[in-house]
Amino acid sequence: MSLPGTKRRKHAAFALAFLMLFTLLSGCGGSGSQADTQNSGKDANNGSGPNNAAPSEVSYPLQTDASKPLTYWAEYGSVKATMEEVPFFQEWQKRTGIPLKFVSPPAGQSRDSLNIMLASGDLPDMIEYDWFNFPGGPEKAIAEGYILRLNDVIDKYAPNLKKYLQANPDIDKMLKTDSGSYYTFPFLRGDPLLQVYQGPIIRQDWLDELGLKVPETIDDWHNMLTAFKDKKGATAPLSYIFQSEFLNNGAFIGAFGASHTWFQDNGTVKFGPMQPGYKEFLSTFRQWYAEGLLDKSIANVDGKALDTNITNGTTGATVHNSGSGIGKWLPLLEEKDPNAKLVAAPYPVLHPGDVPMLGQKDPVYTTGTNVAITSKAQNVELAARLLDWGYSEEGHMYFNFGQEGVSYEMKDGEPVYTDLLMNNPDKLSPSQAMSLYIRANYGGPFVQDKRYITQYLALPEQRSAIETWAHTDVDKYKLPQITPTPEEASELAQIMNDVNTLVDEMTLKIIMGNEPLDAFDSYMSKLKTLGIDRATEIQQAALDRYNNR
């Protein structure tokens, strides 16, 4: 090449040398500052106070320095743009006397933004998150130094939670890890009525018209769906969101003695998709799909598609929630057809009179919205006092019902929500209005009150649905909230990622006829090569440890 070319190349060489130098320098600087942050703020729970000492009581509101707010990270959806504007959070600070600064991730991205926040090491004082399902488990979150082990903190500063745990040893057991660490201020369901909210839902008016009764067995379901298709012109008689949230709760699958996930049988852990019953389930659904009883787009159904299917009469049966299902669809249906009715059906079984093996039932300790105090917390005592307030009598009423005279009134000694919530003047739906004044419909650090649900489920259909769905053996078969050790947890996650990919893929492929039913057997042997036996071992060990807690 010509001279200018070589000249240019020399420039480039020089520039490159420059860059290398820069890279080296900045590399060293960065690493130093990273290392510094590692040890700070870890000492808060090092002193091991005596376990039986009664924690000190305080009277709220506390006298605190208003210029030093605690930072609180949470995902919270409401009609307000920020959490600061939500009246609930304003009044919470007033009542406890503790100023707060809120940090929220964009809606639906809590996992991603928590990920980034943790990776940056720049943590707020408190984080409201599903710490039970933190990758690697809560023990790992503590061991990595993100959140504090709360045992001493609870002993010293959380008299109300402490009292509750002492009175409820079975719940106490759920909240700890195997090694006895507390890690969050939990959200707890205060009544069995609050634990069940999901199950099969059917068009009652279609049943009446066709002279059918609410189906009980798989055969009844087949008859009913066929009638829906032939006589009501439903093109997707049965349609539901075919993803783990709905599959794991066991509708249909449970009838065959299997599950879509882990379950226990007399203390033995089993993986549902490996049970012979799972193949029967696949074979039945495969047949239903071929007969046009199951939504042709089953792999693609999401909430929006389901709403459309239900409201335009494409679908006559589904599996969904009482609140966001029945409560949402019934008014929409009635607008189009005054006779339209929805009814809850029991979880299907094989033989009349059987008790369904599985069904949706949340544990008392639902893990979604639990508040941890981070290792970077500036004032651990203040954070603990704030969170403990939710378990006090005043806090209980406040979290569940809000402010007296604003969001509820006492009538005959019972709190009754006002029209501000139930019949909002600004045309907000009850759940939208509630999210501004209470947290009973959202979870958080408190015990949920059953007097919330009896008022929230406004329709009689919704209330009877819960009774219908609650009648299952799920307590016997569902795994309790077991915690693998951090090492086991990462091994388990490694295995289950491949396993879940395979199960999801094969389940749908077999049902939709893309793979023959016999493919089930070869896919079982693939599960073995993916290490499912090792995963079962880990789960079994964790269950044994749980039972020995």
Partner 1 sequence: MNKTAFRAKLIRDFVTNKYLYLMMLPVIAFYAVFNYAPMYGVLIAFKEYSPLKGIMDSPWVGLHHFTTFFESYYFLRVLKNTLIISVYSLLFEFPAPILLALLINEVRNKTYRKVVQSATYMPYFISMIVIAGLIRDFTDSGGVINTIYAYFGGDGTAMLQHAGLFRPIYILSEIWQKAGWESIIYLAALMAIDQEQYEAARMDGAGRLKQMWHITLPGILPTIVILFILRMGNLLNVGFEKIILLYNPVVYETADVISSFVYRKGLLEFSWSYSTAVGMFNSIINLILLVLANWLSRRITSNSLW
Q: Which is nearer to partner 1, 367 or 462 (CB)?
A: 367
Q: How far apart are CA 172 and CA 48, in angstroms?
A: 19
Q: How far apart are CA 129 and CA 48, in angstroms?
A: 26
**Beta carbon of residue 106, minimum distance to partner 1 (angstroms, whole number):** 12
Q: Which is nearer to partner 1, 501 or 522 (CB)?
A: 501
Token pair belonging to 260:
């879509």
Where do the H-state alpha helices sit in 37-56? none
**Beta carbon of residue 407, minimum distance to partner 1 (angstroms, whole number):** 35
**Beta carbon of residue 228, minimum distance to partner 1 (angstroms, whole number):** 17
Residue among 480, 496, 486 at smallest CA distance from 544: 480
Residue among 434, 271, 257, 423 at smallest CA distance from 355: 257
Angle at 97 between CA 95 and CA 103, to 5 degrees: 95
Q: Could you tell me whether strands 365-373 and 408-411 are parallel, antiparallel, or unpaired per DSSP bridges? A: unpaired
Q: Which is nearer to partner 1, 114 or 224 (CB)?
A: 114
* Cβ density class 143-176: b for 16+ within 10 Å, e for less: eebbbbbbbbbbbbbbbbbbebbeeeeebbebbb
SS (H, E, C) 293-354: CECCCHHHCCHHHHHHHHHCCCCCEEEEEHHHHHHHHHHHHHHHCCCCCEEECCCCECCCCC
Angle at 346 between CA 477 and CA 300, to 5 degrees: 85
Find out whether 161 and 391 touch, Cβ atoms under 8 Å: yes
**Beta carbon of residue 290, minimum distance to partner 1 (angstroms, whole number):** 12
Token pair belonging to 236:
């997707």
Q: Which is nearer to partner 1, 88 or 132 (CB)?
A: 132
H or E element, residue 28: helix 3-36
Find out whether 105 and 96 touch, Cβ atoms under 8 Å: no
Q: Which is nearer to partner 1, 476 or 528 (CB)?
A: 528
What does the radius of gyration of the chain's CA atoms come to, in whole angstroms?
27
Question: 371 forms bridges with which residues in the sheet?
Answer: 128, 185
Q: Which is nearer to partner 1, 116 or 410 (CB)?
A: 116
Q: How far apart are CA 479 and CA 168, in angstroms?
A: 20
Q: Which is nearer to partner 1, 11 or 427 (CB)?
A: 11
**Beta carbon of residue 20, minimum distance to partner 1 (angstroms, whole number):** 8
Q: Which is nearer to partner 1, 326 or 542 (CB)?
A: 542
**Beta carbon of residue 100, minimum distance to partner 1 (angstroms, whole number):** 24
Q: Which is nearer to partner 1, 150 or 433 (CB)?
A: 150
Q: Which is nearer to partner 1, 376 or 478 (CB)?
A: 376
DSSP secondary structure, 161-206, as one string? HHHHHHH-HHHHHHHB-TT--B--EEEEE-SGGGT--EEEEEEHHH
Q: Which is nearer to partner 1, 458 or 512 (CB)?
A: 512
What are the residues binding partner 1 (CB under 8 A)? 7, 10-11, 14-15, 18-19, 22-23, 26-27, 30-32, 34-38, 111-112, 115, 118-121, 134-136, 144-146, 296-297, 299-300, 305, 375, 490, 493-494, 497-498, 501-502, 504-505, 507-509, 512, 514, 526, 529-530
**Beta carbon of residue 340, minimum distance to partner 1 (angstroms, whole number):** 21
Cα-Cα-Cα-Cα dihedral sign, residues 59, 61, 66, 68: positive
Residue among 188, 197, 154 at smallest CA distance from 453: 197
Q: How many CA atoms lie within 13 A of 321 on its CB side?
A: 13
Q: Which is nearer to partner 1, 56 or 501 (CB)?
A: 501
Q: Which is nearer to partner 1, 82 or 300 (CB)?
A: 300
Q: Which is nearer to partner 1, 331 or 516 (CB)?
A: 516
Token pair belonging to 450:
């059953």
**Beta carbon of residue 295, minimum distance to partner 1 (angstroms, whole number):** 8
Residue among 504, 494, 498, 507 at smallest CA distance from 526: 498
Classify residue 440 by burial, with Cβ atoms within 10 Å: 0-12, 13-18, 19+.
buried
**Beta carbon of residue 515, minimum distance to partner 1 (angstroms, whole number):** 10
Cα-Cα-Cα-Cα dihedral sign, residues 176, 179, 181, 184: negative
**Beta carbon of residue 35, minimum distance to partner 1 (angstroms, whole number):** 4
H or E element, residue 372: strand 365-373
**Beta carbon of residue 510, minimum distance to partner 1 (angstroms, whole number):** 11
**Beta carbon of residue 229, minimum distance to partner 1 (angstroms, whole number):** 15
